Amino acid sequence: MHPTLAPYPASRPRRLRRTNALRGLTRETTLTADDFIWPVFIREGNDTEDPIASMPGVARLSLDRLLVRAHEAADLGIPAICLFPYTEQHLRTEECAEAWNPENLTNRAIRLLKAELPDLAVMTDVALDPYNINGHDGLVRDGVILNDETIEALVKMTLAQAEAGADIIGPSDMMDGRIGAMRGALEAAGFQDVAILSYAAKYASGFYGPFRDAVGASGRLVGDKKTYQMDPGNSDEALRLVARDLSEGADMVMVKPGMPYLDICRRVKDQFGAPTYAYQVSGEYAMLRGAADQGWLDGPRVMLESLTCFKRAGCDGILTYFAIEAARALRSGAI
């Protein structure tokens, strides 16, 4: 028995579960819209919402539709959007030069959002896979994913996004040394206020499949990403990588995927106390949404329960495709 508890019947923990008011007063972990970063897929076109079959309820948005949905997110109190582009096939090359084109899809979206909704934080993805004909996050030569050459490309990509007005840079590439190079370049170029949310512990996971459908990378990946993304069996390594990224200038760190790696979230938060985030990735979303659509799970309930578990594990926020739906449910108080 816990030493601070009186013996039964003086101690009856059910007393504090008896009513909704009492449960609310004693709730240890609270979820709000402030906790969400909403990942959004964007595409060329006009007045287009292109549904993603493997992510029911999620679509690739043309920029005019992005603006409509961004207003909805802001009105619900969601503080940030993260952009992921669907790049046309003819723009995907081995050199990945479209990644740092000032007029690429992502950079145009950043400028549009910041002009229309200046208080909404815009986060970007920094990795080459949307622009790489090989489907990898880095440059490829003779089947090898190059580290240092990739960093040079990622720095150019970072500066182009900062110039467009990005608030948060999200390096998801997992190349060694990229945080220090990005931070140094941002400082030198006068973008010292741009934050870096590092994908510090990104695992080589099977949960990314629907995302690759969404960005058009499925079927294009040559080989796998195990030489640069983390082994799912490793935990201590995640702490070393987080320590490195913080020492190189990351402002925030992320664990990806989310729910299968809650132990990593807790270890990171306990060890470093830094702003810690989890990405509830496409496969996690698809499983919950698919089961709910089949009537096998109570969709709204498991949605909020799954998001609350990240906060309970120590996360300060969550990247989730449920952001709009969850914020609406929280505002309504219906759940």
Average pLDDT over residues 239-268: 98
Residues 157-175 pLDDT 10s: 999 999 999 999 999 999 9
79 phi/psi in degrees, rounded to 5: -85, -15
Percent of the chain whose predicted confidence (pLDDT) is above 90:
92
pTM: 0.95
Per 3-state DSSP, the chain is made up of helix, strand and coil in percentages (nearest 5) of 45, 20, 40
Is 20's pLDDT higher than 70? yes
- E strands, the chain, are 36-42, 49-51, 59-61, 80-85, 121-126, 140-141, 144-145, 168-171, 195-202, 252-256, 276-280, 317-320
Residue 128 near residue 91 (C-beta atoms within 8 A): no
Residue 103 near residue 63 (C-beta atoms within 8 A): no
Residue 170 near residue 142 (C-beta atoms within 8 A): no
Residues 271-306 pLDDT 10s: 999 999 999 999 999 999 999 999 999 999 999 999
d(CA 40, CA 124): 10
**Exposure class string for 151-183: b at 16+ Cβ within 10 A, else e:** bebbbbbbbbbbbbbbbbbbbbbbbeebbbbbb
The position carrying tokens 């664990």 is 255
Is 2's pLDDT higher than 70? no
d(CA 49, CA 28): 39
Is 220's pLDDT higher than 80? no
Residues with catalytic roles = 202, 256
Helices vs. strands in the chain: H and E counts, helices first? 11, 12
* Domain definitions of the chain by residue range: 30-332
Residues 57-116 pLDDT 10s: 999 999 999 999 999 999 999 999 999 999 999 999 999 999 999 999 999 999 999 999
d(CA 211, CA 228): 18
Distances (CA, A) of 58 to 22, 82, 113, 163, 322: 37, 14, 20, 29, 9
Long-range contacts of 191-194 (CB under 8 A, 24+ apart): 191/159, 191/162, 191/163, 194/162, 194/166, 194/167, 194/168, 194/169
Tokens coding 218: 């499925």
**Which CATH code of 3.40.309.10, 3.20.20.70, 3.40.50.300, 1.10.760.10 fits the domain covering 30-332?**
3.20.20.70
Residues 36-45 pLDDT 10s: 999 999 999 9
Element (H, E) at 70: helix 63-75
